[in-house]
């Protein structure tokens, strides 16, 4: 059985255009035999036969002469120029054959041209070809569906982006008006009581910080559209990176009443662009804080695997429905949620996280059940070319990023 399967594997696979090849072969064969039959008929009937009888009758009418005079004239013309006449008939048969062959070929080109026009149409109608062009028909319809899907995604993304810009512009106006208003009050009343002045200054500072956040979100949109930045990949200490991020989030966690627990080996390392991956885990932690219940723990667990490392960020809060979970990594997906909260983001965090992880050759997934939502990032191991050369009796420590 093994030898038989190897033999089948070595045999050339059947071409999907075999029906087209057979159709063309039989068409050419039919035209070729038809041309040969025509020439054989002419060769036998021109000296004597139906063609000769028709030629003599035509000469009788033209010369107004007797039958034998017409026969003598026909014989003199035909036998004296037989080779020339037969060669002309061969050329005539060749051009007749070529004309029909080209017409058949052009029919296929016309179908393909119509199929190309169908790719540009947006009427949703499937492209149909002749049965022998079924493989090309499938490819054309696949391309048509892909183009239609991309057009729809582009329109949807553009609409979301336009809505987002409009919402952000509206939100920027509100804190800006407050900043200008309170600063104007401070300018108009220099003798304002210190307590009131401190209160107005604090409100103006808070609104200015909100304004800075919104402006940064504008830059976030631009950076996302121009995300084709080179990766500066290297081996780095993943444990140390996660410790730093958890420490940086302490004020935000405390304000929300959350705690964070890190479960990762101290020797855990990873390969990639540390700065961009830090942005991934920062976005996941920010998302976990925003959607967790107050006073609940947030868990960050990282571990090595046979093919690389995994990082899991888990929080307790509202369960995300499956239909929303499928679209959670789409850009601007949190637009409505951002609009409803005073400190909501652009909905780009998870989309950017997925982009960075995919560019590292990894995966990012989300799951939510029973009030627990978890994001899992899987990163591949370092390629062999990036591994340091083995050195005997030397074990350098991991460098801190």
**Spans of all domains in the chain:** 14-120, 153-225, 234-383
Q: Is 80 exceeded by the pLDDT of residue 298? A: yes
pLDDT bucket at 191, cuts 50 / 70 / 90: confident
CB neighbours of 216 closer than 8 A, spacing ≥ 6?
A: none
The percent of the chain in helix, strand and coil, each rounded to the nearest 5, is 65, 10, 25
- Asked which of 155-164, 186-195, 258-267 is least confident by mean pLDDT, the reply is 155-164
What letter does residue 300 receive in the DSSP assignment? E
Q: Is 90 exceeded by the pLDDT of residue 377? A: yes
Q: Determine how many CB atoms are found less than 10 A away from the CB of residue 338.
A: 21
Q: Is 90 exceeded by the pLDDT of residue 388? A: no
pLDDT bucket at 302, cuts 50 / 70 / 90: very high
- Percentage of the chain lying above the pLDDT 90 cut: 16
User: How do 259-263 and 297-304 pair as beta strands?
Assistant: parallel
Q: Determine how many CB atoms are found less than 10 A away from the CB of residue 159.
A: 11
- Express each pLDDT in 128-165 by its tens digit: 877 777 777 888 888 888 888 888 888 877 877 776 67
- What integer is the mean pLDDT of 278-293? 88
For residue 43, give the 3-state DSSP assignment.
Answer: helix
Token readout for 121 is 């149409």
CA pair distance 329, 224, nearest whole angstrom: 13
Q: Are 309 and 270 in contact (CB under 8 A)?
A: yes
Distance of CA 147 to the CA centre of its chain: 10
Q: Is 50 exceeded by the pLDDT of residue 107? A: yes
CA pair distance 133, 112, nearest whole angstrom: 9
pLDDT of residue 315: 93
Q: Is 60 exceeded by the pLDDT of residue 312? A: yes
For residue 247, give the 3-state DSSP assignment.
Answer: helix
pLDDT of residue 8: 53
pLDDT of residue 313: 95
What is the 3-class SS of 172-238, one letter each residue? HHHHHHHHHHHHHHHHHCCCCCHHHHHHHHHHHHHHHHHHHHHHHHHHHHHHHHCCCCCCCCEEEEH
- What integer is the mean pLDDT of 114-134? 77
- What integer is the mean pLDDT of 45-71? 72
Q: Is 90 exceeded by the pLDDT of residue 309? A: yes
Which CB contacts under 8 angstroms, 24+ apart, belong to 97-103? 97/31, 97/32, 97/34, 97/35, 100/31, 101/27, 101/28, 101/31
- According to DSSP, the residues that pair with 110 across neighbouring strands are none
- What integer is the mean pLDDT of 227-238? 78
Q: Are 30 and 97 in contact (CB under 8 A)?
A: no
Token readout for 83 is 């080779």
What letter does residue 253 receive in the DSSP assignment? H
Q: Is 70 exceeded by the pLDDT of residue 206? A: yes
What is the reported pTM?
Answer: 0.49
Q: Is 60 exceeded by the pLDDT of residue 97? A: yes
Average pLDDT over the chain reads 77
CB neighbours of 250 closer than 8 A, spacing ≥ 6?
A: 260
Which CB contacts under 8 angstroms, 24+ apart, belong to 42-46? 42/86, 42/89, 43/86, 46/78, 46/82, 46/85, 46/86
Whether CATH 3.30.565.10 fits 234-383: yes
For residue 18, give the 3-state DSSP assignment.
Answer: helix
Distance of CA 293 to the CA centre of its chain: 37
Distance of CA 388 to the CA centre of its chain: 36
CB neighbours of 326 closer than 8 A, spacing ≥ 6?
A: none
- What integer is the mean pLDDT of 374-386? 83
CB neighbours of 141 closer than 8 A, spacing ≥ 6?
A: 126, 127
- According to DSSP, the residues that pair with 367 across neighbouring strands are 374
Q: Are 341 and 348 in contact (CB under 8 A)?
A: no
pLDDT of residue 396: 43
pLDDT of residue 332: 58
pLDDT of residue 277: 92
Q: Is 60 exceeded by the pLDDT of residue 260? A: yes
pLDDT bucket at 340, cuts 50 / 70 / 90: very low
- Which CATH number, 1.20.272.10, 3.30.2130.10, 3.40.630.30, 1.10.287.130, labels domain 153-225? 1.10.287.130
Write down the residue that tokens 């409100």 correspond to. 203
What letter does residue 113 receive in the DSSP assignment? H
pLDDT of residue 217: 66
- Asked which of 309-318, 363-372, 377-386 is least confident by mean pLDDT, the reply is 377-386
- Asked which of 33-37, 79-83, 379-383, 389-393 is least confident by mean pLDDT, the reply is 389-393
Q: Give CA angle at 198 (195, 199), nearest 5°.
A: 85
- What integer is the mean pLDDT of 203-230? 70
Most confidently modeled range among 63-67, 102-106, 277-281, 326-330: 277-281
Answer with the residue of higher pLDDT: 187 or 345: 187
pLDDT of residue 104: 72
For residue 331, give the 3-state DSSP assignment.
Answer: coil
- What integer is the mean pLDDT of 365-394? 76
- What integer is the mean pLDDT of 3-16? 55
């Amino acid at each position: 059985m093994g030898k038989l399967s190897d033999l089948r594997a070595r045999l050339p696979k059947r071409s999907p255009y075999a029906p087209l090849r057979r159709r063309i072969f039989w068409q050419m064969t039919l035209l070729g035999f038809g041309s040969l039959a025509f020439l054989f008929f002419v060769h036998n009937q021109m000296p004597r036969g139906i063609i000769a009888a028709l030629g003599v009758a035509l000469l009788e009418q033209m010369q107004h002469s007797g039958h034998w005079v017409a026969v003598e004239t026909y014989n003199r013309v035909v036998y004296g120029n037989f080779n020339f006449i037969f060669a002309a008939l061969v050329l005539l048969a060749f051009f007749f054959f070529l004309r029909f062959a080209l017409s058949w070929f052009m029919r296929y080109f016309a179908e393909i041209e119509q199929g190309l026009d169908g790719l540009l149409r947006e009427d949703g109608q499937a492209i149909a070809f002749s049965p022998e062009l079924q493989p090309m028909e499938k490819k054309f319809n696949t391309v048509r569906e892909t183009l239609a899907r991309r057009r729809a995604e582009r329109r949807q993304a553009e609409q979301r982006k336009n809505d987002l810009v409009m919402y952000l512009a509206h939100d920027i106006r509100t804190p800006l008006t407050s900043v200008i208003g309170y600063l104007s009050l401070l300018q108009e009343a220099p003798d304002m009581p210190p307590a009131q002045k401190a209160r107005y200054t604090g409100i103006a500072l808070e609104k200015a910080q909100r304004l800075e956040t919104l402006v940064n979100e504008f830059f976030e949109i631009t950076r996302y559209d121009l995300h084709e930045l080179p990766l500066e990949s290297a081996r780095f200490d993943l444990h140390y990176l996660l410790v730093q991020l958890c420490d940086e989030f302490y004020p935000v966690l405390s304000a929300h009443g959350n705690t964070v627990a890190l479960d990762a080996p101290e020797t855990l390392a990873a390969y990639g662009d540390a700065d961009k991956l830090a942005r991934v885990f920062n976005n996941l932690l920010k998302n976990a804080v925003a959607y967790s219940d107050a006073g609940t723990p947030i868990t960050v667990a990282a571990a090595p695997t046979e093919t690389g490392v995994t990082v899991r960020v888990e929080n307790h809060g509202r369960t995300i429905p499956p239909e929303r979970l499928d679209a959670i990594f789409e850009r601007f997906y949190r637009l409505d949620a951002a609009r409803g909260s005073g400190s909501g983001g652009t909905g780009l965090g998870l989309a950017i996280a997925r982009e960075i992880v995919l560019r590292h050759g990894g995966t990012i997934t989300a799951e939510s059940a029973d009030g627990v939502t978890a994001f899992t990032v899987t990163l591949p191991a370092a390629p062999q070319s990036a591994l340091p050369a083995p050195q005997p009796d030397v074990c350098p420590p991991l460098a801190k990023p």
